[in-house]
Structures are given as C-alpha cells and as structure tokens.
Structure 1
Amino acid sequence: MADQTTYTTDSYFETQERPASLDAEVSKVRDWVTTMKSRGKRIVLVTSGGTSVPLEKNMVRFLDNFSAGTRGATSAEYFLAHSYAVIFLHRQHSLLPFTRHYSHSTHPFLDLLQIDPVTSAISVDPSSTSDLLPILKRHLEVKEEGTLLSVPFVTVNEYLWLLKGVSEVMGGPNGIGRKGMFYLAAAVSDFFLPGTRMSEHKIQSGNGVATDSSVENGRLTLSMDQVPKILRPLVEEWTKEGYIVSFKLETDPSLLLPKSRAALSRYGHQLVIGNDLHRRKLEVVFVEPLAGGVAGEEGGKFKESWVRLGEGKKEIEEEIVEELVKRHTTWIDGGKV
C-alpha cells in the first residue's frame, strides 16, 4: 500500500491530470463574462451537486455523496430573478434551474402531458398549466437573455480544475472584480485517489491489481489522500476582490458555529453559511466577520445571523439570496459587510 501524500493546492495542480475539455470550457466562460460585463451585469458563480471520486482510470467504480444539487439549482433561479448573470458549475445530471421543478423521479415531466386520441397531438394537461406556465416563461426569458451559463463536471478533479479556471477569469485583469460573487454550494469530496496510484482498469474481485487498492478475502482496501483546501488560493490569488460565500454542513448542531467561525479564521473570506443536515431547508446561519474584527485573524470577532424560512415562502433559498444581494451591494460599494 502506497504512503499517503499531503497535497498543497500548487502540488495538486502540478501532479493531477488536467481535463481534456478544460481550455474549451474556460474559453467559453471568458467570452461569456466579457459579454455580461459589457452589459453591466453582476455575476455569481454557483457551484452545485456532488463530486465523484473515481477508483479506476477507466471508471467503473467510484465514491459519491448524496447531493442532488437542490440548493445550487434553486439558488441560481433566485439570483437570476435579482438580475444576476449566473455561471452554473454543476455535477452532470444533477438538478438544473427551472427543470428541477420536474425531476425525473419526484415530478416527472411526462406526467404533465396528454395525447389527443383523434389527432395524436401532444399538449399539456390543463390541470398542470398554471404551475408550468410561469416556470416555462422564466426559463425562456433567461435563455433569450443568455444570462445562465452551464458548465458541467463529474469528478472532483474536474471540479477543482474548473473552479480554478473560472475563478481566474472572474478575478483576472479583464474580470468582473467586486461585481463577482462566489456561492460555493457544491458538496466537494474530502478525499481522492491520485491518478498515479489508480488502477488502469476495473478493480477485479480477486487479488489486488491496483497500486493503491487491494482485494483480499472479499474485502476491498483503499488508501486515499486528502483533497487540498482551495478557499485560501481562491481568496488570496484567483479572485482577490470577489465576494466569497462558502457552506458548512454538520450533523451535530453544537459544531455548526465553531466550525463556521474556524473556516472564516482560516481562509479570510466574507461569509460562511452554516447548515444543520436535518434543518437545512428551514433555517441556516450566516457567520461573518464583525466590523472591527478581522476575518482570517485567529480569535477575530464574528457575528451570526439566522435566516429562516419565512411565512408564505416555499424555499429558504429565496431568503438566503435576498440577504446575500444586500451584502454584495455593500461589498461592491467598497464597504465592509
């Protein structure tokens, strides 16, 4: 079994394979950002969905998490409603803005349709029209405006390379500066299997065939390395003026505030949104550096603001985005939030 390696962000990108489609995707983002900037748009990068961890280069088996991209897809819609242009960096086949309302498993789109028995013409069931119409209208408006750019990924390696590339575009000399927001809602894997220690082909159920995996007596053993924390280079190098929002998910409520404060102290960004796994659709907590305290300073002062699902609101993301837009406006104007 190979020894584990501790990766810095630099060493990760120096050693892990660059996705074949990276340059084309980043070029597409650069052209789109230039267009949105010329129109005076604020731009938010929304990351969404989970990241898979391949166990083989010719991937058959992989590790994954439960994220379907609900928060990211929902939030993207509300950012669009607030006139933001949205780069939607999402797990392929996870939920998307607008079409999320008709997921293949919970509310299949085909159930909305009917066939005329005489002409065989397809139409929407009248009972579904009132719900579908505003969603479809908004989807077509956004499509016409071109304010939603979809960028897919599958693996954690693809995600990290794309996040770096997109962030450098937004934060570069021809980027968007303080008008850029980073809403990092993707569920990023904590561990990965480096390419140099990965089996070329499918791991067999017999004896071990991979440098870093083995099967013995029916038991698969893996040795994985920790994914480097990329918030620091995002804050300090890739996009120094961007308004950066990260998420902290915990299952133990007593850890939520300490872990969120620790993330701000460690990385020095603007805001952590804390989520308790079982109440994340009802309430979240915004943790920010307090005016007079310094984010990134151990022992710095923080303020916490609870955001809860309001009466008459169906989705807490509406409340979250409304609060973020206010804070981003202050950031753009050069003030501390």
Structure 2
Amino acid sequence: MAAAKEEAAAAVEERVRVWAAAQVASGRRVALVTSGGTQVPLEARAVRFLENFSSGRRGAVSAERLVSAGYGVCFLHRARSAFPWARVLPPPGPALLDALCITPGPPPAVAASPGALPALLPALRAYRQAAETNALLSIEFTELNEYLALLRATARALAPFGSGVMFYLAAAVSDFYIPASEMPEHKIQSSEGALQITMRMVPKMLSPLVKEWAPEAFVISFKLETDPLILIEKSRQALEKYRHQVVVANILESRRTSVIIVTKDSQTPLSLSEEEIAQGVEIEEKIVSYLQGQHTLFMDKKL
C-alpha cells in the first residue's frame, strides 16, 4: 500500500513538472492553490472520519481569479469540494434538476432552463478558455495523508521555477490525526461504550515547504480564528516561525467579506462595501489582486 502511494505521488510530481514547464514557456506565472478540507480516518479499515466545515469555496474562487490574472493554476483540491466555475451550478438535488429542462427531439436533449442559471454561460466560457490553454491542472485528494504526500510532490515539481511560483495554501488542513500504528483495525463498536480518542499533532508541512521543497517560491498561508483578539498575533507568530511571505488572516463569521493581509512589515485590511456585496463582488477578487502585486514585488527583489 505504501509503495503504491509513493508511486502515485511520483507520477503526480512528474505530471506537474511537465505542466509547469509548459506554463513558464508560455509566459505565465504558476500558482499552486490548495483547497477544501481534509478527512481524518478513525479506523484502519475506515468507517468513521473526522472532518471540518470547509467547502473549498475560497480556493475555487481564488483559482478562477488567478487564471484570469494570467497564472497557470495547479488546483490541489478535496474531492467533491467546490471547483472553479462549476460552483455556479446548484448543488445535486431538486435545485439542480429544476434548473434543467428537456428539449424536444428528435432526439430529446437536456438544456439549462432559460434564466435559471444566469452565471453558467460566462463560467462555462471561462472554464473552456482555461481548459483550451491548459491553464488549470486539477489534482484531487481525500484523506489527510494523501494531501500531505501530494503537497510535497507538487512543491518539488514546482521548485525549479523559483520565485515565479506562488503557493496559495487555502486548504483547511486538520491539525490532529491518529497515526496508522495507533488506529484500531476494524470499525469501532458503539457497544463498547463512550468513545475516547487520543489524537496527535499533524506534522507542519509549511516549514519543509519553505525551507526545503520550494525555498525560492512566494508562499501564502491562511489563518482562520474565531477570536479577533488573537488573530494578528497568531499570524505574526506563523510568519516568524515559518519564514514565509504572507498570512491571509480572517475571522470565521466575516471571512466572506473581510480579511487582513499580514506580512513581516505590514497588515493591510481588505473588505467589501455594502454596495460591492449587493453587486456580487467576492472578497477573493481583492485578495488575489493584492497578492498578485505582492508577488511581483517579491520577484523583483529576487532579480
């Protein structure tokens, strides 16, 4: 099993390296966007898992914006989480079925109901453009260990391209897990009574990414808190500890409308006005625009 996972990661590394070389040759910068939550199994032959609330929306929206800004985007995302441009579709169920209609034949066909999906046409056009120009490379993960292995593989693949690479680490990665050696083999039985679980800290991947895997890259992490009093302090502690370039700091309740971009020397609030919210502007548009400028400054310093 371990050998098969290593082989799969090696194949992804080569795939990303070839794709990234083509992006750079065409004049694009490259961004690795991680997105969605991670699944942590509680048993070796897993029936039960621990999850977090992440839908992957921020990563998906940001990937769209980065492609529009001229980046080639490697989208490392949780399976079945939000996907760039596809997020305009209703979720599976009545809303999706009601948005579709049957057109008369022969032969009969399926089409979107007029007016039901106003955002679908521009989203589909943007996706087709990205696909035709090879600007989006999609890689899926589910479990925590799979994500960690793929992050390492993609980072190594992108390392040769230096400061032109942006790591946009928006995935909501679990802080805790159960090592394989400590997991029960079979399903935990409820008949055994109340469940007590001891979980270990997940090894932090930001440190080896910055120091070893891709030391020349522009690295952005995200910090989500529920207590605004500790948000900036936690963000600065992360910058000091890992020595990367940017933390995007946000509070759970307001994460869709405001963030603070924290660097070693500054903190810059970005927010949506009431008018922008009414117009459907998304905070990721401002985040990506600001970080694109920061990436340019970072690259200029490396020259």
TM-score under structure 2 length normalisation: 0.92
Shift of 1:139: 0.9
Helix, strand or coil: the match of 2:45?
coil
Tell me the equivalent position of 1:190.
Answer: 175
Shift of 1:276: 0.4
Partner Cα separation in structure 1 for residue 157 and residue 229 of structure 2 = 38
Helix, strand or coil: the match of 1:219?
coil
**Mapped contact 1:243–1:331 kept (Cα < 8 A):** yes
Partner Cα separation in structure 1 for residue 137 and residue 95 of structure 2 = 24
- Matched to 1:169, the amino acid is A
**Is 1:250 aligned with 2:217?**
no
Q: 2:187 aligns with which of 199, 202, 220?
A: 202
Alignment of 1:234-273 (within 5 A): 234-273=209-248
Helix, strand or coil: the match of 2:115?
helix
Report the more deviating stretch, 52-61 or 305-314: 305-314
Change in 2 beyond 3 A, CA 1:17/1:275: farther
Partner Cα separation in structure 1 for residue 118 and residue 201 of structure 2 = 48
Partner Cα separation in structure 1 for residue 81 and residue 3 of structure 2 = 25
Alignment of 1:1-337 (within 5 A): 18=5, 21-104=8-91, 108-116=95-103, 119=106, 120-128=108-116, 130-171=118-159, 175-206=160-191, 215=192, 218-290=193-265, 303-310=266-273, 311=276, 312=279, 314-334=281-301
Structure of higher CA gyration radius:
1
Shift of 1:197: 1.3
Helix, strand or coil: the match of 2:268?
strand
Partner Cα separation in structure 2 for residue 238 and residue 39 of structure 1 = 24
**Mapped contact 1:87–1:148 kept (Cα < 8 A):** yes
Shift of 1:111: 2.9
- Matched to 1:72, the amino acid is G
Partner Cα separation in structure 2 for residue 118 and residue 94 of structure 1 = 35
**Backbone CA RMSD of aligned residues:** 2.2
Report the more deviating stretch, 112-121 or 186-195: 112-121
Partner Cα separation in structure 2 for residue 256 and residue 335 of structure 1 = 30
- Matched to 2:170, the amino acid is A
Partner Cα separation in structure 2 for residue 30 and residue 335 of structure 1 = 22
Shift of 1:106: 8.8
**Mapped contact 1:272–1:288 kept (Cα < 8 A):** yes
Shift of 1:37: 2.0
Shift of 1:113: 1.8
Shift of 1:105: 5.1
**Mapped contact 2:239–2:263 kept (Cα < 8 A):** yes
Helix, strand or coil: the match of 1:134?
helix
Helix, strand or coil: the match of 1:150?
strand
Shift of 1:322: 0.4
Q: CA offsets per residue over residues 34-89 of structure 1, 9 Å max, x none?
A: 22122121000000000111111222111110101010001000001001000101
Shift of 1:327: 0.6
User: Gapped runs of 5+ residues in structure 2?
Assistant: none
Helix, strand or coil: the match of 2:84?
coil
Helix, strand or coil: the match of 2:126?
helix
Partner Cα separation in structure 2 for residue 335 and residue 109 of structure 1 = 48
Report the more deviating stretch, 49-58 or 193-202: 193-202
- Matched to 1:205, the amino acid is S
Report the more deviating stretch, 83-92 or 28-37: 28-37
Shift of 1:309: 1.6
Partner Cα separation in structure 2 for residue 106 and residue 273 of structure 1 = 34
Change in 2 beyond 3 A, CA 1:73/1:158: same
Partner Cα separation in structure 1 for residue 16 and residue 185 of structure 2 = 32
Helix, strand or coil: the match of 2:33?
strand
TM-score under structure 1 length normalisation: 0.83
Partner Cα separation in structure 2 for residue 152 and residue 36 of structure 1 = 20
Shift of 1:231: 1.3
**Mapped contact 1:16–1:194 kept (Cα < 8 A):** no
Change in 2 beyond 3 A, CA 1:71/1:129: closer
Shift of 1:267: 0.9
- Matched to 1:35, the amino acid is A
